[in-house]
Chains A and B, each alone.
Chain A
Amino acid sequence: GAGVSQTPSNKVTEKGKYVELRCDPISGHTALYWYRQSLGQGPEFLIYFQGTGAADDSGLPNDRFFAVRPEGSVSTLKIQRTERGDSAVYLCASSFGTGGITEAFFGQGTRLTVV
C-alpha cells in the first residue's frame, strides 16, 4: 500500500482480555517498529524488527507484550491480560534499509482503551 496501515484504528477491551494489533508496513520496507504513545507524551519505543526477527525488544514493558512478524512484512503486537495502564495509542512505523537509521514512516496508530 501507499503508507503504513494499522488495524483496527480503535479498540476497546475489558481488563484481563487478550488483544492483537496489526501493522501492514510499506511494501519493501525491511525494518518495522512498534511504539506506544500515552496521552500528552512522546512515543515510547517497544520493539524493532529487521526482517522476521526482533532486532531489539528492549522496550517491551513486560512479558504480557509480544510481537511477531513471521513473513517479514505484516506484524502483530499481542497483549495478554490487558490492564488499564495499557491504554494508549500504539504506533507502527517502517523504514527501508538496514540499521533503522533511515527515515521511518508512521501509521496513524491504534487507539487501545482498556476498561
Chain B
Amino acid sequence: AQKVTQAQTEISVVEKEDVTLDCVYETRDTTYYLFWYKQPPSGELVFLIRRNSFDEQNEISGRYSWNFQKSTSSFNFTITASQVVDSAVYFCALSEAGYGGSQGNLIFGKGTKLSVKP
C-alpha cells in the first residue's frame, strides 16, 4: 500500500538555523513521483518540487535542498539559514504513475509544522 510518513509533527527553530524535514514513503510501484508542498497560514498549497523515481540526484534551489534516497525510501527537505517567512506546514506527497485509477492523485503525509522564531 502507498503511504507517506512525516514523523515530525512540529519543529521550532531560531532564525538562521538550518532545519531538515523528514519524509519516508512506501510504494510497490517502480515508477512514482515525490513532491513537497508548503502550506502557509493562508491555506493555499504551494508547490516546491517534484522528483521522479528514476532521478536520485539531489537538488538545490536557493536555500532549499532535497535529498532523495531510494535505498531508505526517503525524500528529505532541508532549509538552510531559515527565515521567519519559512514558517508554514510542509507536506511531502507521493504519486504513482500508470497504476490504473491512481495515476495523478497525490498521497500526502500528515505534514510538519515549522515555526521559525526571530
Interface residues of A (CB under 8 A from B): 31, 33, 35, 40-45, 48, 50, 55-59, 89, 91, 93, 99-101, 103-109
The A-B contact count (CB < 8 A) is 70
Report yes or no: A56 in contact with B110, Cβ–Cβ below 8 A. no
Report yes or no: A101 in contact with B47, Cβ–Cβ below 8 A. no
B112 to nearest A CB, angstroms? 10
Given contacts A40-B110, A42-B110, is CB(A56)–CB(B47) below 8 Å? Answer: no
Most buried by A among B91, B97, B106: B106
| In the assembled complex, B8 has its CB within 8 A of some CB on chain A | no
Report yes or no: A109 in contact with B44, Cβ–Cβ below 8 A. yes
B96 to nearest A CB, angstroms? 10
CA distance A100 to B111 in the complex (A): 22
17 contacts between A and B (CB under 8 A): A31-B104, A43-B45, A55-B101, A55-B104, A56-B101, A58-B102, A58-B105, A91-B45, A99-B97, A100-B104, A101-B33, A101-B97, A101-B103, A104-B47, A107-B44, A108-B44, A109-B44
CA distance A109 to B106 in the complex (A): 16
Interface residues of B (CB under 8 A from A): 4, 33, 37, 42-47, 50, 91, 93, 95, 97, 101-111
- What would 12 more interface pairs be, CB under 8 Å, given A101-B97, A106-B44, A106-B46? A42-B91, A42-B93, A50-B104, A56-B101, A56-B105, A57-B101, A91-B45, A99-B104, A100-B104, A101-B95, A108-B42, A109-B43
Residues of A within 8 A of B4 (CB): 42
Report yes or no: B108 in contact with A43, Cβ–Cβ below 8 A. yes
Residue of A whose beta carbon sits closest to that of B96:
A101
CA distance A76 to B50 in the complex (A): 28
